[in-house]
Homo-oligomer: A and B are copies of this chain.
Amino acid sequence: MILIGELINSSRKPVAEAIAAQDVGFIQDLAKAQAAAGVDYLDVNCGTHIADEPKMLAWLTRIVQEVVDLPLCIDSPNPEALAAALQVHRGKALLNSISLEKQRFEQMIPIVSEYGCSVIGLCMDDRGMPEDETMALECAQMLVERLQQRGLPVEDIYLDPLVRPISTNSKYGTVFLQTVAAIRNRFSKVHITCGLSNISYGLPNRKHLNQAFLVMAMASGMDSAIVDPLDRKLMALVYAAEAILGKDEYCAGYISAQREGKLDS
């Protein structure tokens, strides 16, 4: 499972304040804590700082990589901000995100090529977000085709079928799970990821919903997610799910996690 730590995001108030105050220590502590929890990427997002997003995203990238030896998931809809961050990024970044929206695709693709990133592709086009798994699968296929045409290997593509809150439509959970299964059935090597916590938007005690949803999506074939890695229960369930799905031979990873105290709450 390829996990992306979500906490360095200016939509979270303490992070927005730390960015505004240029509080290096706060951001770096958040980076170190997530890295210690065992993620593969750290997401960096300062979307609320619209005025100087390129400068701020590059700053975040630099100070985070000063203290953790991980690639970042550089998160912005603004091509200038992405390019500024990628200029200072060390290693192979994950660009978050491209989509089939015509303008967005054409603006992002030269950046992906120039910096040799992996890329998260949102399964949507200029018609908006798909309402059912048929349209979502069409978007997924089109994205893979067009990204490969532009020279991106399938292993560098992370498809995001887009999670929507079950509080707005009780079918959105199953539509997502069926879309994941259909994509996995069609493409064995593409990565499938999502922003997990959207599922529980508007509901109380969201952690149970996020945790159950992650486990189900893993069973459907999702192999990556953007998560809060400081949710110890969520991380324990990821170890458990990998063992149950036969992706952890002799349950060695689960047993190691136990020895390292990662399964205690």
User: Contact: B215 with A246, CB < 8 Å?
Assistant: no
Q: Give the chain B neighbours of A248 by CB distance below 8 A.
A: 170
User: Contact: A251 with B212, CB < 8 Å?
Assistant: no
Interface residues of A in 178-220 (CB under 8 A from B): 199, 203-205, 208-209, 211-213, 215-216, 218-220
**A249 partner, pick from B170, B233, B255, B263, beta carbons under 8 A:** B170
Give complex CA distance A249, B204 in Å. Answer: 15
Contact residues on A (Cβ < 8 Å of other chain), bracket:
35 or more
Q: Give the chain B neighbours of A265 by CB distance below 8 A.
A: 265
Q: Give the chain B neighbours of A203 by CB distance below 8 A.
A: 243, 251, 254-255
User: Contact: A219 with B177, CB < 8 Å?
Assistant: yes
Integer count of this chain's copies in the complex = 2
A158 in the interface (beta carbon within 8 A): no
Q: Give the chain B neighbours of A199 by CB distance below 8 A.
A: 244
Q: Give the chain B neighbours of A173 by CB distance below 8 A.
A: 243-246
User: Contact: A166 with B244, CB < 8 Å?
Assistant: yes
**A167 partner, pick from B208, B251, B258, beta carbons under 8 A:** B251
Q: Give the chain B neighbours of A236 by CB distance below 8 A.
A: 205, 208
A239 in the interface (beta carbon within 8 A): yes
User: Which of A209, A212, A233, A239 is the most central at the interface, judged by chain B CB atoms within 10 Å of its CB?
Assistant: A212
A33 in the interface (beta carbon within 8 A): no
Contact pattern, A 240-265, Cβ under 8 Å of B = 1, otherwise 0: 11011110111100110010000111
Supposing A177-B219, A245-B174, A263-B204 touch, asked if A237 and B254 sit within 8 A by C-beta, the answer is no
Q: 14 A–B contact pairs at CB < 8 A?
A: A170-B249, A171-B246, A173-B244, A173-B245, A199-B244, A204-B263, A205-B263, A205-B264, A208-B239, A209-B243, A212-B240, A212-B244, A216-B219, A216-B244
Besides the contacts A204-B255, A212-B240, what 20 more A-B pairs have beta carbons closer than 8 Å? A166-B246, A174-B244, A174-B246, A203-B243, A203-B254, A204-B258, A204-B263, A205-B236, A205-B258, A208-B237, A208-B240, A209-B240, A209-B244, A209-B254, A213-B244, A215-B215, A216-B218, A216-B244, A216-B245, A219-B220
* The 3 nearest A-B residue pairs measured at CB: A173-B244, A212-B240, A208-B240
Residues of A within 8 A of B (CB): 166-167, 170-171, 173-174, 177, 199, 203-205, 208-209, 211-213, 215-216, 218-220, 233, 236-237, 239-241, 243-246, 248-251, 254-255, 258, 263-265
